[in-house]
């Protein structure tokens, strides 16, 4: 097949130090904040049954009502330092923050549109305050940017007429200028999280997306951009016409988690997740189920066990504070992370056969495998089956390294760890120190 001009420019994972840092984060925070927070998914007593940050698109939303609402955006209790301290306590190691969502409202004083925080009662450079406060807490910052911009008259869903193309050329230049502005004003940014790139207008701009991505990476070496940004010259997104991922990590896991390692195709990836069933911006009423802290910890373990990161979303209220449920989850998850983060930070897929009791993670560059146990069987015997040519040298609770746990051999390649009788109310971690040995794997046999 002829060579793609605007497909992926790299096969396989990035091998630089910035990406190694990203790979080891384990847990992250997403924050969706903007004009949509004023509505909280509700208008005149009726609740929008979609995601609250999409309320501008609601048929019951009169034109102009949303677009003038920014004149009321005045978060009296916004304190980025408080946000960053809550995130630090939770144990997240990166944050992705909305600079501009689909509605086009900019939380930084962009020079290229009047629809920004500078023309609201708030006037603060929200993006700068968030970037500075989180960076000060040692949490890496990534900026969310929606390509689709409902407020900009040059935005097009598709390019059908000459006029469409002329307008969209202006729109692409506007986009490039805003992204340049964000990287120059907030150089601490480690990456850009693009969204709103599924429409035909963007799919028909493959060459432009390629050139723009290369420009951004020249402007900001090491910049991390996921697979939701690019299109190839045939309009393919995420994976190009030859089947190679376009982007530094797979960015399709939105409100879903891969089931098996095969599902991630050897890519870096993260999963972004809401606490309620759906909805990223603040919602006055959470409809349906919202996740408990233990569910969130299990999703975190599940993602890290499959080589990814888990990113939990928070939707601050219009006044800049968080819902009590979100504050509580951050606190409880943080208490667990404080004790058990060794099994989450700088860990990767262990490649051992999954067992019912929970998830394995492996410490990168160390002979240590962690068992994150959620389901203690009635027998209190946890089955452990290391990968080929790996033996367990020693096992102990992460919280009791001095008390070795006994392994009862079951057959040539599996053991039982007998748990001491106790009430297991919380997920807990067992450390397995490993060494080479036992039956060689096929690739090890091939080497000898």
Q: Where along the sequence are the contacts to ligand LM5 (CB under 6 A)? A: 32, 51, 53, 195, 198, 254, 272, 280
Closest CB to ligand LM5 among residues 221, 288: 288
Which residues, 6 or more positions from 64, have their beta carbon under 8 angstroms from its beta carbon? Answer: none
Tell me how far, at minimum, the Cβ of 33 lies from ligand LM5, in Å.
Answer: 11
Residue 238 CB, shortest distance to ligand LM5, in Å, is: 10
When the beta carbons of 195 and 240 are compared against ligand LM5, the nearer one is 195
Looking at beta carbons only, is 95 or 272 nearer to ligand LM5? 272
Q: Smallest distance, Å, CB 159 to ligand LM5?
A: 20
Minimum distance, C-beta of residue 272 to ligand LM5, in the bound complex (Å): 5
What's the burial of 22, exposed, middle or buried (CB within 10 Å: 0-12/13-18/19+)? Answer: buried
Shortest reach from residue 242's CB to ligand LM5, in Å: 23
Measure the CA–CA gap between 224 and 20, rounded to whole angstroms: 11
Identity of the residue, 32 or 220, whose beta carbon is nearer to ligand LM5 in the bound complex: 32
Supply φ then ψ for residue 100, to 5 degrees.
Answer: -150, 120
User: Is 117 within 8 Å of 109 (Cβ atoms)?
Assistant: yes
Residue number closest to ligand LM5, CB atom: 280
Alpha-carbon torsion (339, 342, 345, 347), positive or negative? negative
In the bound state with ligand LM5, the residue whose beta carbon lies nearer, of 195 and 248, is 195
The span from the CA of 287 to the CA of 9, in Å, is 43
Q: Which is nearer to ligand LM5, 47 or 349 (CB)?
A: 47
Task: Please report the beta strands in 227-296, taking only residues with DSSP state E, as ranges in sequence order.
Answer: 270-273
Tokens of 122: 């708030």
CB of 280 to ligand LM5, least distance (A): 4
DSSP character at residue 446: H
**Residue 371 Cβ vs ligand LM5, minimum distance, rounded to whole Å:** 32
Q: In a 10 Å sphere around its CB, with 0-12 CB exposed, 13-18 middle and 19+ buried, how is residue 74 labelled?
A: middle
How do 27-31 and 191-195 pair as beta strands?
Answer: unpaired
């Amino acid at each position: 097949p002829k060579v793609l001009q605007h497909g992926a420019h790299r096969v396989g994972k990035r091998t630089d130090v910035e990406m190694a840092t990203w790979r080891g984060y384990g847990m992250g925070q997403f924050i969706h904040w903007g004009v949509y927070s004023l509505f909280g998914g509700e208008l005149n007593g009726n609740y929008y049954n979609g995601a609250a940050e999409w309320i501008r698109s609601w048929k019951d939303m009169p034109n102009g009502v949303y677009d003038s609402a920014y004149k009321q955006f005045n978060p009296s209790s916004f304190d980025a330092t408080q946000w960053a301290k809550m995130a630090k306590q939770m144990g997240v190691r990166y944050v992705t923050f909305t600079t501009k969502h689909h509605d086009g409202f900019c939380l930084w004083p962009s020079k290229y549109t009047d629809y920004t925080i500078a023309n609201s009662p708030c006037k603060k450079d929200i993006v700068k305050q968030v970037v500075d406060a989180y960076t000060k807490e040692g949490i890496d910052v990534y900026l969310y940017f929606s390509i689709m911009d409902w407020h900009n008259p040059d935005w097009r869903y598709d390019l059908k007429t000459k006029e469409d193309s002329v307008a969209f050329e202006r729109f692409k230049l506007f986009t490039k200028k805003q992204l340049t502005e964000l990287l120059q004003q907030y150089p601490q940014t480690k990456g850009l999280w693009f969204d709103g790139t599924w429409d035909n207008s963007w799919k028909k701009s493959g060459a432009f997306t390629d050139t723009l991505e290369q420009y951004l990476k020249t402007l900001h070496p090491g910049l991390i951009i996921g697979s939701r940004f690019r299109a190839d010259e045939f309009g393919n997104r995420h994976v190009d016409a030859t089947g190679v991922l376009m982007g530094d990590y797979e960015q399709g896991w939105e409100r879903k988690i891969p089931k098996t390692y095969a599902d991630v195709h050897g890519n870096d990836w993260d999963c972004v997740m809401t606490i309620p069933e759906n909805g990223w911006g603040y919602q006055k009423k959470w409809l349906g189920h919202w996740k408990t802290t233990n569910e969130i910890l299990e999703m975190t373990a599940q993602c890290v066990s499959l080589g990814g990161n888990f990113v939990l979303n928070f939707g601050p209220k219009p006044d800049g504070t968080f819902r009590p449920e979100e504050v509580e989850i951050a606190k409880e998850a943080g208490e667990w992370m404080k004790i058990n983060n060794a099994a989450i930070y700088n860990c990767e897929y262990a490649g051992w056969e999954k067992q019912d009791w929970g998830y394995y993670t492996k410490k990168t560059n160390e002979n240590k495998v962690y068992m994150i146990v959620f389901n203690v069987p009635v027998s209190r015997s946890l089955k452990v089956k290391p990968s080929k040519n790996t033996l367990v040298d020693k096992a102990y609770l992460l919280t009791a390294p001095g008390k070795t746990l006994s392994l009862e051999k079951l057959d040539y390649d599996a053991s039982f760890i007998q748990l001491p009788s106790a009430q297991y109310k919380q997920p807990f971690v067992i450390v397995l120190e490993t060494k080479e040995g036992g039956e060689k794997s096929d690739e090890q046999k091939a080497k000898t």
